[in-house]
Structure 1
């Protein structure tokens, strides 16, 4: 392994993250330290999509629990299929960081490119990002598999948005030569594959957060207790964080827009955001602008949007909490329409 690759790997978990300062592994305490230990053990590497959450410990725990219990824990769906689905969702969401990581992991596990895969699960995952195509797509899973399929898609919808805001296009620290990417991804995929071989035990992340009820729109998870627990606890932690970070007017505006949204793009400019926030008091507009962009066009969040918000509250925790609340609100909406509406009917899930 080259010295450049070693240096990049050592810096990846912290220096990759924009706008906030993640907690270093050696400085982590309490809940953050426990989550970090689980991540290194079960995922193989302290990944930036997780460390970016560390200024908000409960949100970090919720994000990790969703990832672990839907993606990493062995269940009714093969890990390779999940990596292919994660790549498809990330492509649809224009999340280059996640496309690189999950596409490379799929390739490392199979020796194939995810672009060549012809699998109903991938077709369905891609279709799930829009309510109309989700309704017309075939259901490639059984009732037993449904919580993992829907949990994986919902979790990736959340993580794609957070990665688009806080991470760069590829898993490299700023200023690192692009030529290092191949070596870094080779090592990262090797670590992820090694961790996957240990088959993490179901439910170990659930002790990180207090008990919580499963929201109605996440009811599709109920058949799998560990997935249901992860989704319920993450939703509760993020909702509590959002109540601190985002004024009620902002949350109400985002919810109102999500209620009528079916996955259609909002446009290549940000004029739609300016129109929506114009009715709010001036002091509320930066938070509303950021929250709306995270939910509907996370790839459009830039330094100016973040700087405007931080003038009202400069803390890292508040920035992570507001972004997480908005990302989770959108993910819950998408998971809701992706779930078969008549899933309780006998035979509905027959492939």
Structure 2
């Protein structure tokens, strides 16, 4: 039986206990999907799963700003990161908001007719470049926690998906059919359009102080959710030695947002530094991770928990670079 999971074997929902089961319950209630692979793939690392869900929920679902606008931002981010799974998912979710014509324009590769929608979509795409090019914001200042949190959540989720899942949102790519997209969206419409109370996901986070919330979060629940994901993801650095960590951080310091060339120039050799290579691929080209890359690093002691944490560390190093640009105070009011 085929699964969407490339390198891990997550437990099914019925076998989940503790915090993982609690996350699954919130996913079913607030996201409308019982076992979305984007989150199930993180289930071997409960602290990562909870923080990823918290950031997405508190920004996209419960954060300030319209759901349609934030779905457009997430669509643009996913396009820029070359994540077809997430692009298709946000097309379906736009159907769920009731914006059927908009969803189908995007599915055809066309520009939104509404100029405000077009600006938000383009802003989402531009956030992949860690520079002031993502300014000014195409939304009011008070909506920044929702939009910025959504963009950063999907810069992380895109990388997890591209690294650890197959590209197919549905079996046989059924979501490529308009009628399937529309029906799937309509099945989620009641959940997507129902108001969500901010802060609910924070109860799932570690009791330890996650760290300082970023200023752009403005005191909303998005801030501690982002800080918790940063803390959980960066713990994966412990899977690399100091030299490998230095290689990863040096490469990220000079990253300009572009996708690497076919030759992956400047990436470590998988035989010499397999961990650093895997982390850097997760950061800059997760869709280029191969079976050979994973096999070169993975040893008997490297469980699914370890692999997920290493990929998450690489993914978040890129998110951290992007966040440092997005957080510069030049937002449009």
* Common fold: TM-score over 0.5: yes
What residue in structure 1 maps to residue 120 of structure 2? 121
8 Å CA contact retained: 1:92, 1:126: yes
Q: Secondary structure at the match of 1:19?
A: coil
8 Å CA contact retained: 2:59, 2:222: yes
Give the gaps of 5 or more residues in structure 1: 1-10
What residue in structure 1 maps to residue 230 of structure 2? 235
Runs of 4+ aligned residues of structure 1 deviating over 6 Å after TM superposition are none
Report how far residue 137 of structure 1 moved: 4.1
What residue in structure 1 maps to residue 47 of structure 2? 58
Q: Determine the C-alpha separation between the residues in 2 that align with 1:178 and 1:147.
A: 33
Q: Deviations over 1:272-305 (max 9, x none)?
A: 2136x79xxx4xx111110010111111111111
In angstroms, what is the RMSD of aligned CA positions?
2.4
What residue in structure 2 maps to residue 310 of structure 1? 298
Report how far residue 313 of structure 1 moved: 4.0
Q: Does 1:160 align with 2:154?
A: no
Cα distance change on mapping 1:136 and 1:185 into 2, 3 Å: closer
Identify which of 149, 155, 164 aligns with 1:151. Answer: 149
Q: Determine the C-alpha separation between the residues in 2 that align with 1:180 and 1:93.
A: 19
Q: Determine the C-alpha separation between the residues in 1 that align with 2:204 and 2:31.
A: 17
8 Å CA contact retained: 1:293, 1:301: yes
What residue in structure 1 maps to residue 56 of structure 2? 67
What residue in structure 2 maps to residue 40 of structure 1? 28
Q: Determine the C-alpha separation between the residues in 2 that align with 1:252 and 1:192.
A: 44
Q: Determine the C-alpha separation between the residues in 1 that align with 2:182 and 2:95.
A: 10
8 Å CA contact retained: 2:91, 2:181: no
Identify which of 169, 185, 190 aligns with 1:189. Answer: 185
Report how far residue 198 of structure 1 moved: 2.6
Q: Determine the C-alpha separation between the residues in 1 that align with 2:210 and 2:15.
A: 33
8 Å CA contact retained: 1:266, 1:296: yes
Q: Determine the C-alpha separation between the residues in 1 that align with 2:60 and 2:249.
A: 27
Cα distance change on mapping 1:136 and 1:310 into 2, 3 Å: closer
8 Å CA contact retained: 1:158, 1:328: yes
- The TM-score, its normalising length taken from structure 1, stands at 0.83
Cα distance change on mapping 1:70 and 1:179 into 2, 3 Å: closer
What residue in structure 2 maps to residue 142 of structure 1? 140
Q: Determine the C-alpha separation between the residues in 2 that align with 1:142 and 1:247.
A: 43
Q: Does 1:261 align with 2:282?
A: no
8 Å CA contact retained: 2:45, 2:309: yes
1:8-27 aligned within 5 A: 15-27=3-15
Identify which of 10, 15, 28 aligns with 2:16. Answer: 28
Report how far residue 194 of structure 1 moved: 2.1
What residue in structure 2 maps to residue 330 of structure 1? 318
What residue in structure 2 maps to residue 105 of structure 1? 93
Q: Determine the C-alpha separation between the residues in 2 that align with 1:86 and 1:146.
A: 14
114-123 vs 153-162, which moves further: 114-123
Report how far residue 227 of structure 1 moved: 0.4
Q: Determine the C-alpha separation between the residues in 2 that align with 1:301 and 1:47.
A: 22
Cα distance change on mapping 1:309 and 1:101 into 2, 3 Å: same
8 Å CA contact retained: 1:212, 1:236: no
Q: Determine the C-alpha separation between the residues in 2 that align with 1:184 and 1:244.
A: 43
Q: Determine the C-alpha separation between the residues in 2 that align with 1:238 and 1:189.
A: 31
Cα distance change on mapping 1:38 and 1:326 into 2, 3 Å: same
What residue in structure 2 maps to residue 5 of structure 1? none
What residue in structure 2 maps to residue 247 of structure 1? 241
Cα distance change on mapping 1:177 and 1:76 into 2, 3 Å: closer
Give the gaps of 5 or more residues in structure 2: none
